Amino acid sequence: MSDISIIGGGHASGKLVNNLHKLEFKGNINIFSEEEHLPYERPPLSKDFLYGSKKFEDFKIDINLEKVNYYFSTKINKIDFINKIIYDQNNNDYSYDKLVFANGSSPKRIFEENIEGVNYLRTLNDSVKIKSSIEISKDIILLGAGYISLEISSTIKKNYPNKEVTIIDNSEKILLRNSNDDLREFIFKYQKKNNVNFLFNTSFQKLIRNEDGSIKSLILDDNKILACDLLVVGIGVYPNTDILKGTMLEEKNGIKVNEYCETAVKDVFALGDVALSKNNFLNKHIREESWNNAEKQSDILAKNLTGTKTAYDEIPWFWTDQFDQNFQILGEINNFDNKILRNYSENKNTIIYFKNKKIIGAVAVNNGRDISIIRKIIKKNIVPNMEKIQNKDINLKELL
């Protein structure tokens, strides 16, 4: 039985290990993680964990450490694909039979140096630090109006309704990526209702520091000065492909894999946030960067590594929870030629998107049941009855 080495210790990595054990993989498994914690799921970091209603134990992924070689706080720096050897930061070498990249992505930074009060959210430690900073901060600014910032603003306002929270973005609206105007309207309504401040079409030109070096204020493009003792930067992420520089797998926007998580190099695989994966539903390569992607790719890769060839066949799906509202996004929600709103109540809606009379995606507010049904409709390739869809009193289940 061959040995598998996994670079990265996040959700995808942890679930891959457990799935391999479930499938009775008997070879050695080496995991190299830059973190000092066991793998964990990341969604709670900006929500329940940051809020305080979940503990690390609630979302960590338990791994039987007696059955693996787990290298904590270990960064793989160099890879020799020809001789199948990887090297860590201390130049220790490890040989492998099969190599898996599950090393995720990193937040884009605005400064190389670490400045007290300037934070990024990716890891458990980041979330712990932001949580303690929120408690003592008065003027909180979130840079970037993406999902991370919107979830953090929601968490802060739930805990501290009177704290000033301002989101700054250099575009004219929230959620420029992975969204559409319908979803933006839903989410923006809840953000505004809960008194989150927004400044659009602006960025900061300078950061002013206190004498101790910590952040004091931001000077915006229009020279307006905003007091700031906590800045959380959420302006996107980049895949951790730096270690591939100069190798035969050099990629910029993620490690390209087919629907089996196979890279162009034999015995080398990638999954999760770092993978630029073939998505059969969209018929293109994408980086999904979602909980579902990490969860489901770890399942299919474990099967592929143990001899059962299985293709990744998921319709992209993710959720965001803000102000106790659950928003779910399924499939393609742009590039549609028709849409139907099923308005059940003020806080419960589903919008279904069509192309050539077929459903291609949906957005649901507090209505996961519709998403479950629509996913099945899409997977079964059903051409839906439009009259039934337009009548919200008819259960979508009738279309199955």
Partner 1 sequence: MSDNENWIKTYAVSDIDDEDVKEFQLPNGNKIAVYNINNTFYATDLFCTHEKVSLCEGFIDGDSIECPLHQGVFKISTGEVLESPPTEGLKTYITKIEENYIFVNVS
Q: Which of 128, 286, 326, 354 binds partner 1 (CB under 8 A)?
A: 326
Q: Looking at 120-128, 233-241, 304-312, 364-372, which segment touches partner 1 (CB under 8 A)?
A: 364-372
Q: Looking at 87-95, 142-150, 270-278, 363-371, which segment touches partner 1 (CB under 8 A)?
A: 363-371
Q: Rounded to an integer, what distance in angstroms lies between the CA atom of residue 388 and that of residue 400?
A: 12
Closer residue to partner 1, CB minimum distance, 287 or 296: 296
Closer residue to partner 1, CB minimum distance, 179 or 290: 290
Please, what is the minimum distance in Å from the beta carbon of residue 328 to partner 1? Answer: 9
Please, what is the minimum distance in Å from the beta carbon of residue 12 to partner 1? Answer: 13
Please, what is the minimum distance in Å from the beta carbon of residue 208 to partner 1? Answer: 41
Q: Answer yes or no whether residue 41 interacts with partner 1 by CB under 8 A.
A: yes
Q: Answer yes or no whether residue 257 interacts with partner 1 by CB under 8 A.
A: no
Total residues belonging to the chain: 400
Closer residue to partner 1, CB minimum distance, 127 or 263: 127
For residue 54, give the nearest of 46, 63, 66 by alpha carbon: 46
**Can you say how many angstroms the Cα of residue 299 is from the centroid of all Cα atoms in its chain?**
18
Residue 102 φ then ψ, to 5°: -135, 40
Closer residue to partner 1, CB minimum distance, 58 or 242: 58
Q: Looking at 1-9, 153-161, 259-267, 371-379, which segment touches partner 1 (CB under 8 A)?
A: 371-379
Q: Looking at 31-39, 113-121, 211-219, 318-326, which segment touches partner 1 (CB under 8 A)?
A: 318-326
* Interacting positions 4-33 with partner 1 (CB under 8 A): none
Q: Which of 192, 369, 379, 388 binds partner 1 (CB under 8 A)?
A: 369
Q: Rounded to an integer, what distance in angstroms lies between the CA atom of residue 241 and that of residue 185?
A: 35
Q: Rounded to an integer, what distance in angstroms lies between the CA atom of residue 151 and that of residue 194?
A: 12
339 sits in the region (left: phi over 0; alpha: psi -120 to 50; else beta) called beta
Token couple for 71: 């290298």
Q: Rounded to an integer, what distance in angstroms lies between the CA atom of residue 266 and that of residue 375?
A: 34
Closer residue to partner 1, CB minimum distance, 249 or 365: 365
Q: Rounded to an integer, what distance in angstroms lies between the CA atom of residue 181 and that of residue 90?
A: 49
Please, what is the minimum distance in Å from the beta carbon of residue 399 to partner 1? Answer: 13
Closer residue to partner 1, CB minimum distance, 174 or 330: 330
Contacts with partner 1 by CB under 8 A: the residue count is: 16
Closer residue to partner 1, CB minimum distance, 39 or 239: 39
**Can you say how many angstroms the Cα of residue 114 is from the centroid of all Cα atoms in its chain?**
23
* Interacting positions 70-89 with partner 1 (CB under 8 A): none
Per-residue contact string for residues 274-293; x = within reach of partner 1 by CB under 8 A: -----------------xx-
Residues 6+ apart with CB under 8 A from 344: 350, 367, 392
Q: Which of 63, 107, 367, 384 binds partner 1 (CB under 8 A)?
A: 367
CA distances from 65 to 14, 18, 227, 341 (A): 11, 11, 47, 49
Burial readout 362-395 (b: 16 or more C-beta within 10 A, e: otherwise): bbbbbbeebbebbbebbeeeeebeeeebeebeee
Under the rule (CB under 8 A), what is the footprint of partner 1? 41, 291-292, 295, 317, 319, 321, 326, 367-369, 371-373, 376, 397
